[in-house]
Amino acid sequence: MGKEIHAGINEVNVSNWLADQTDVVGELTFQIVTHGRSNLTYILEDEDNTKWILRRPPTGHVLASAHDMNREYKIISALGKSNVPVPGAIGMCEDEGVTGASFFVMDFVDGNIIKDLTDAQQFSREERKIQSESLVEALATLHKVDPEEVGLGDLGKREDYIARQLRRWKRQVDEGSDRSLPLFNELHKNLEGRIPPQIGYGIAHGDYRLDNCMIGLDNQVAAVLDWELCTLGDVLADLGGMLMWWGEKDSSKTLMSDAPTLAEGYISPGEVANMYERFSGRDLSDLPYYIAFQFWRLAAITEGVRVRFTAGAMGDKDIGDEMAGFEIRIDGLLEASLAKLQEM
């Protein structure tokens, strides 16, 4: 048995496995990375200062997440053949005897993850403009990839992406929520009845935004990260999601008040749409719908978080403020969804 200093990592076994995949100089050090919501991420570094990233499922949820590891590795490996900036794929280990779960290793990409306004302040206005333009270009580049050509033609169902998403998140709220949400249900009916025709299909990232990209030292997107929700479908949902998170400088009611892209220098939502349209050649006349859908979807996700929080905090008498915060945010997301639909 090898030593295990970090939860979920058998350092000796992983070191031996990696040495069989690539050149490793001396002993490896392991550092867990806190950024990320589900799968565990570690930085591995050898004595020659070469670094890699290891991704594995959370401890205690191996069976449910093992497939995600294979899927994420398959996507990164396939897109390495395209012009989409992704980390280089080193190897996938499906032998759970190595460290208790499937895992994969990819190249370390140097740069910055810009999560909020504080992070954005370290860059000049000119640098922020470069970052935002690169973010749009990288998304359009992803959406131009032919899934069949890179070996991702079997990644998921191709048609009716929005309809499938609407069913999925409506069912989750119906089965999991402990309260009535009339506006949520009304918006679902409205969104379901107004789905734009899906023009073709492509690779949809599923959660594309600034803080899911590594920004390189040249302020270009060095790597698109967090491919856990990636599938095939209507790629304009990605653009709608990115614009939802972007925030609007002139709106006093913006829900994304700490969005890094509210900092001076980042291009406006309108400029994002114009640039994407120019790069992709896609018709964006239904763009408000996709933004409305993403606000509704985020409300569904947040409601699930609220329910889990309630269940986990039942012994805590001081959860009133937290609960009120969840409910206010969900109401705001639903109102934002309604407002976008009214723009159509």
Which residue, among 51, 50, 48, has the nearest Cα to 33 in the 3D structure? 51
- The burial class, CB within 10 Å (0-12 / 13-18 / 19+), for 193 is exposed
Specify the pTM: 0.89
According to DSSP, the β-strands at 231-233 and 202-204 are antiparallel
Asked if residue 161 lies in contact with residue 237, where contact means CB atoms within 8 angstroms, the answer is: yes
Residue pLDDT, tens place only, 43-73? 999 999 999 999 988 776 444 544 578 899 9
Q: Which range among 65-69, 91-95, 119-123 shows the weakest confidence by mean pLDDT?
A: 65-69
Q: How confident is the model at residue 167 (pLDDT cuts 50, 70, 90)?
A: very high
Asked if residue 293 lies in contact with residue 301, where contact means CB atoms within 8 angstroms, the answer is: no
Find all residues with CB under 8 Å of 275, minimum gap 6, and list them: 133, 136, 137, 267
Residue 19 has what pLDDT? 97
Cα separation, 223 vs 25, in Å, equals: 25
Residue 253 has what pLDDT? 56
Element spanning 203, H or E: strand 202-204
SS3 239: helix
Residue 286 has what pLDDT? 97
- Tell me phi and psi for residue 239, to 5 degrees: -65, -40
Cα separation, 230 vs 290, in Å, equals: 17
Find all residues with CB under 8 Å of 209, minimum gap 6, and list them: 241, 242, 245
- Sheet of strand 103-107: strand arrangement: 29-33, 40-45, 51-56, 103-107, 89-93
Domains annotated for the chain, with CATH where assigned, are: 11-107 (3.30.200.20), 123-341 (3.90.1200.10)
Q: Mean pLDDT throughout 261-278?
A: 96
Residue pLDDT, tens place only, 223-248? 999 898 899 999 999 999 999 999 88
